[in-house]
């Protein structure tokens, strides 16, 4: 695997859209060619090299390419956009759309990530060591096909609307999560190790939410369904089980109605 290191040298006055920072776009290119990749500051087209110092050549394919993003990129959007393979390490906080529409490969964000990270993710892995913004692993506006595969781990807190319209894959938040978790989901799993605010699993058709901490207000559509012993992420514990959203439609599998599941650690 070849490593390309890009370091922010000229911060944008506004925000930078750098959807070319991905192993797919870098693959097969020398440092010089990578520096020519297009980026946009508002409506002004520019090149990656104008904002970043690029060192190292990429591998022949995305899978053979690792990118390390250094410097203050808190005003850089779309890092890891549509990535399918390879590795991407973001040393500091990045803005919106990190790993949006990603299908494969691995992103490690050492700082925070902004809203819309891993939008409509299909595969791969996103690890955020800081906090994640709103709409983590959610569907694009209007689309009923949300995150369908892959894994997201947030070591800090997550914002609102994580996993909206989720179909598959897994989201783990070690910290707390803001309102609305897995709204409209039809599959997949979200684990929140800290506290959840409210409005969990609203309009959920199918899927699983597991909460280790407190829930400020439960959705009325989640009906108590006894207690269960579960092993979650290596932790064995007793959980209160709820099924829902009882107000929403549900599918039948072999004649039995399948509900969404919410487990809260007792």
Partner 1 sequence: MTKTVTDVICPFCGTLCDDVECVVSDDGKQLLEVYNACVIGTEKFLHSQAKDRVTRPRLRQDDGSWKEISYDEAVEYSAQMLAKAKKPMLFGWSSTNCEAQSVGNEIAEISKACCDNTAATCHGTTLIAVQDIGLPSCTLGEVKNRADRIIFWGCNPAHAHPRHMSRYSIFPRGFFTGKGQMSRKMIVVDPRPTDTAKMADVHLQVEQGRDYELLDALRVAFKGEWLPDVVAGVPAEKIREAADMMKSGRFGIIFFGMGVTQSLSKNHNIDAAIAVTKDLNEYTKFSIMPMRGHYNVTGSGEVFAWQFGFPFSVDLTRGFARYNPGDTSTIDLLIRGELDAMFTIGSDPGAHFPISAVKPIANMPSVCVDPHLTPTSGVSKLHVPVAFNGVEVGGNCYRMDNVPIDCRKVVEPPEGMLTDEQFLIKVRDRLKQLKGVA
Partner 2 sequence: MSEYIIKNGHVFDPVQGIKGDKKDIAIKDGKIADKVSSAAKVIDAAGKTVMAGAVEIHAHIAGPKVNLGRIYRPEDKLFSCTPTKGMERMGGGASIPTTFKTGYEYAKMGYTTAMEAAMPPLFSRHVHEEIRDTPIIDEAAFPVFGNNWFVLEYLKNQEIENTAAYCAWLLKATKGYAIKVVNPGGTEAWGWGLNCLTVNDPVPYFDITPAEIIRGLIEANEYLGLPHSMHIHPNNLGNPGCYETTLDTLKLAEGYKAKNKFGREQVLHLTHTQFHSYGGTNWGDFESKAKEVTDYVNANKNITIDTGNVTLDETTTMTADGPFEHHLTGLNHLKWANVDVELETAAGVVPYIYSPNISVCAIQWAIGLEIPLLMKDPMRCYITTDHPNAGPFTRYPRVIKWLMSAKARETQINAFKHKDKVLSQTAIGTMDREISLYELAQMTRAGPAKSLGLSGMCGGLAPGMDADVAVYNFNPEKPVANPDDIEKAFSRCAAVFKSGVQVVSNGDIVSNGNKRTLWVNVKVKDNPQVTRDIKEKFIKYYSMTQNNYEALGHHFIPNPYALEVDAT
Partner 3 sequence: MANKITLNLISGRTIQQGVAIEGGKEKPLYRTAAGIIEMDHQDFKKLGAWKNSNVRVSSEFGSVIVKAIETTQGPHPGLGFIPMGPWANSVISDNTYSTGMPTFKGVPVTVEVALNEPILLGIELVQKQCGVKVG
Q: Choose between 58 and 185: whose C-beta lies nearer to partner 1.
A: 185
**141 contributes a contact to partner 2 by CB under 8 A:** yes
Q: How far apart are CA 137 and CA 74, in angstroms?
A: 20
> Quick one: what does residue 1 bind among partner 3, partner 2, partner 1, none, with the CB cut-off 5 to 8 Å set by partner type?
none
Binding partner of residue 13 among partner 1, partner 2, partner 3, none, CB cut-off 5 to 8 Å per kind: partner 1
Q: Is 160 in the site for partner 3 (CB under 8 A)?
A: yes
Q: Which helix (H) or strand (E) holds 69?
A: strand 65-70
Residue matched to tokens 């012993």: 229
Distance, in Å, from the CA atom of 169 to the CA atom of 128, rounded to the nearest integer, reads 16
220 binds partner 1 (CB under 8 A): yes
253 binds partner 2 (CB under 8 A): no
DSSP string, 226-238: EEEEEEETTEEEE
Residue (9 or 145) nearer to partner 2, CB = 145
Q: How far is the CB of 69 from partner 2 (least distance, A)?
A: 23
Region from 7-15, 46-54, 61-69, 132-140 binding partner 3, contact rule CB under 8 A = 132-140
Which residues within the stretch 223-252 sit at the binding site for partner 2 (CB under 8 A)? Answer: 249
Does residue 134 belong to the site contacting partner 3 (CB under 8 A)? Answer: yes
* Distance (Å, whole) CA 238 – CA 73: 42
Residue 218, contacted partner among partner 2, partner 1, partner 3, none, CB below 5-8 A by kind:
partner 1
- Degrees (nearest 5) of the Cα angle 94, 22, 143? 75
27 DSSP assignment: T
**Token reading at 32:** 């010089």
Picked from partner 1, partner 2, partner 3, none, the partner binding residue 238 (CB below 5 to 8 A depending on kind) is none
- State the Cα–Cα distance between residues 210 and 226, nearest whole angstrom: 15
Q: In the bound complex, what is the minimum distance in angstroms from residue 55's beta carbon to partner 1?
A: 28
How many Cβ atoms from other residues are within 10 Å of residue 38's Cβ? Answer: 13
Given 67, 88, 98, 115, the residue binding partner 1 (CB under 8 A):
115
Closest CA to 70 of 97, 82, 88: 88
If we measure between CA atoms, which residue out of 62, 65, 36, 30 comes closest to residue 51? Answer: 36
CB 122 within 8 A of CB 103: yes
Alpha-carbon gap, residue 34 to 37, rounded angstroms: 5
Residues within window 16-75 making contact with partner 1, judged by CB under 8 A: 17, 40-44
**DSSP secondary structure letter of residue 202:** T
> What is the end-to-end Cα distance of the chain in Å, rounded?
46
Shortest Cβ distance from residue 160 to partner 3 (Å)?
A: 5
Residues forming the site for partner 3 (CB under 8 A): 115-116, 133-135, 159-161, 178-179
Which parts of this chain interact with partner 1 (CB under 8 A)? 13-15, 17, 40-44, 77, 96-97, 115-116, 134-135, 140-142, 144, 165, 179-180, 183-184, 198-199, 202-203, 217-221, 223, 245-248
Residues engaged in binding partner 2 (CB under 8 A): 140-144, 249
């Amino acid at each position: 695997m070849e490593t390309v290191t890009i370091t922010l040298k000229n911060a944008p006055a506004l925000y930078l859209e750098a959807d070319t920072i991905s192993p797919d776009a870098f693959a097969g290119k020398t440092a010089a060619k990578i520096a020519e990749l297009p980026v946009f500051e508002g409506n002004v087209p520019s090149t990656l090299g104008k904002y970043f110092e690029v060192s190292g050549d990429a591998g022949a394919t995305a899978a053979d390419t690792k990118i390390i993003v250094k410097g203050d990129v808190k005003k850089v959007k779309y890092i890891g956009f549509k990535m399918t393979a390879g590795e991407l390490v973001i040393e500091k906080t990045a803005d919106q759309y990190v790993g949006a529409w990603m299908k494969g490969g691995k992103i490690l964000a050492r700082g925070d990530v902004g809203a819309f990270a891993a939008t409509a993710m299909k595969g791969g892995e996103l690890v955020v060591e800081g906090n994640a913004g709103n709409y983590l692993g959610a569907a694009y506006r209007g689309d009923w096909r949300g995150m369908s595969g892959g894994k997201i781990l947030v070591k800090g807190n997550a914002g609102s609307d994580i996993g909206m319209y989720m179909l598959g894959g897994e989201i783990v938040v070690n910290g707390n999560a803001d309102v609305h978790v897995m709204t409209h989901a039809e599959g997949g799993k979200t684990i929140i190790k800290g506290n959840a605010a409210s409005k969990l699993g609203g309009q959920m058709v199918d899927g699983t939410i597991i909460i280790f901490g407190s829930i400020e207000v439960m959705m009325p559509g989640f009906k108590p369904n006894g207690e269960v012993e579960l092993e979650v992420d290596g932790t064995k514990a007793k959980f209160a089980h709820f099924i829902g959203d009882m107000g929403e439609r549900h599918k039948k599998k072999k004649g039995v109605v399948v509900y969404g599941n919410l487990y809260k650690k007792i």
